[in-house]
Amino acid sequence: MAQEKNIGFICVIKKMSKQRIRDTKVEEHILREIKIQSYLNHGNLTALYGYFQDEEYLYLVLEALPDGSLQQVKKKRKLPEKETAAIVKQVS
């Protein structure tokens, strides 16, 4: 989690190793995901606010989720089939 000092904006910074991205040959996948996510605005998808990079890492600035990621929610409780279907339908 990160917080902007002046206005208190809270977000998540995802740090990805450029070397690992190259080693696993997912450069095009990452670029495509950034492009897609930058255009999406949906309540069931994490918002991508921006990205930046340095010599070694690519950083994604993402919406902070109050309940955590979908994986974290799934660990806490089982999602009912109807709820899961509704989320999948909305995202499709």
**Domain-wise residue ranges, the chain:** 2-66
The pLDDT score that the predictor gives to residue 46 is: 84
- The answer to whether 17 touches 54, Cβ cutoff 8 Å, is no
The pLDDT score that the predictor gives to residue 78 is: 77
* pTM greater than 0.75 (yes/no): no
The answer as to CATH 3.30.200.20 being correct for domain 2-66 is yes
Q: Which of 70, 73, 61 is nearest to 4 (CA)?
A: 61
pLDDT tens digits, the chain, 92 residues: what are they? 787 778 877 888 999 999 999 999 999 999 999 999 888 887 777 889 999 999 999 999 998 877 666 666 667 777 788 887 887 777 66
